[in-house]
Structure 1
Amino acid sequence: MSKPVVYACSGCSNVARIAHDIALNLDSDGLAEMSCVSGVAANVDEMKTTATSAYQTIAIDGCELSCTKLCLDNASVNVDHYFVVTDMGIEKRDKWQDSIIDNSKALNFIYKSLKEKGIEFNV
C-alpha cells in the first residue's frame, strides 16, 4: 500500500468527533486510507492484514486515554505518526459540542505535521 493507513478515535466526545473527521478528511483528500481500528482490535483477518502491511500508520486519538493507539499497540501494529487532539489545546467536552474553530485548529496542525514528514497533497 503506497499511502499511510489512518485510524481514529471512536469515542463520544467533541475531540473524538474531531479525530474521526480528520481521518475521514485524510482519506477523502487522498493522503491516507482510513481503516477500522475496532476491526484490528477484534483481530479481524482483513483488518489485521491491512494494519500490519501498511506503508505507514497514522493514529489520531481524541484525548489522553489513547484508545486508538492502545488498540494498535495491543495488536502489535507500529504507529509512525501519532496525534492527540487535546494536546493541541482543545478542551474535551461531552458529546458533539465541537466547533469549526477547534476542528480547523486540529486539522491544520495535523496536516502541517504530516507535510513536514513528507505526507502531502500531490497537486
Structure 2
Amino acid sequence: MDNTENQKNSCACSEAPKLIFACSGAADVGHVSDLAARKLSAEGVGKMFCLAGIGGRVSGIVETTRAASSILAIDGCPLDCARNSLEQAGFTDVQHIRLSDMQMEKGKTPPNQENVDKVVQQGRACLIA
C-alpha cells in the first residue's frame, strides 16, 4: 500500500471542539464577556465561535456547534442573550456563566484584567473536566 492509500484509510477524526459563545453586547459586562471568551480561546481551553451565526442559522456554524463536545455561553447580564440564542437554535446542553451572578453589574464593571481573569477562571472550570 502506498502512502496516498494509507492517508485515505487513516482516521481523519479529531477531538470534537469545545465551543465558547459570548455576549459581546454594548455594555461593559458584554465587553468583559467577549474579552474572557477571546482569552479562553487564545489559551486553547476552547474555541470562541460566532453567536451571530447561530442567530442567523448559518448552516456551517450550526453543524459545527452540533458536533461540539461542550458548549459554553458567557452572558454579561440576566437577559442571557447568548444562552437564549443557543437554546432557540436547539442547543440545550449548554454550560452557562452569567457575569451578574459574579457580582459584576452592568454599567459598573470595567473591562480590566482582574474582571476578565475572574470570568476566564470560571470558564476554565466549565470546559476542563
TM-score bucket (shorter structure): 0.7 to 0.9
Q: 2:31 aligns with which of 11, 14, 17?
A: 17
- For residue 34 of structure 1, report the CA deviation from its aligned partner: 1.2
Q: Deviations over 1:31-79 (max 9, x none)?
A: 1111101101101111111111111111101110000011000000134
Q: 2:86 aligns with which of 67, 72, 87?
A: 72
Residue equivalent to 2:119: 106
Once residues 89 and 79 of structure 2 are traced to their aligned partners in structure 1, the CA distance between those partners, rounded to angstroms, is 17
Gaps of 5+ in 2: 1-14
Q: Percent identity?
A: 25
Q: Summarize the Cα distance change of 1:78–1:29 in structure 2 as closer, same or farther, 3 Å threshold.
A: same
Q: Deviations over 1:98-118 (max 9, x none)?
A: 333322332233334544xx1
How many residues matched?
115
Larger radius of gyration: 2
Q: Summarize the Cα distance change of 1:99–1:111 in structure 2 as closer, same or farther, 3 Å threshold.
A: same
- After TM superposition, the structure 1 = structure 2 runs for residues 13-92 of structure 1, keeping only pairs within 5 Å, are 13-92=27-106
Residue equivalent to 2:4: none
| TM-score computed with the length of structure 2 as normaliser | 0.79
Residue equivalent to 1:3: 17
Q: What is the alpha-carbon root mean square deviation over aligned residues?
A: 1.9
More displaced, 102-111 or 49-58? Answer: 102-111
Once residues 33 and 93 of structure 2 are traced to their aligned partners in structure 1, the CA distance between those partners, rounded to angstroms, is 16
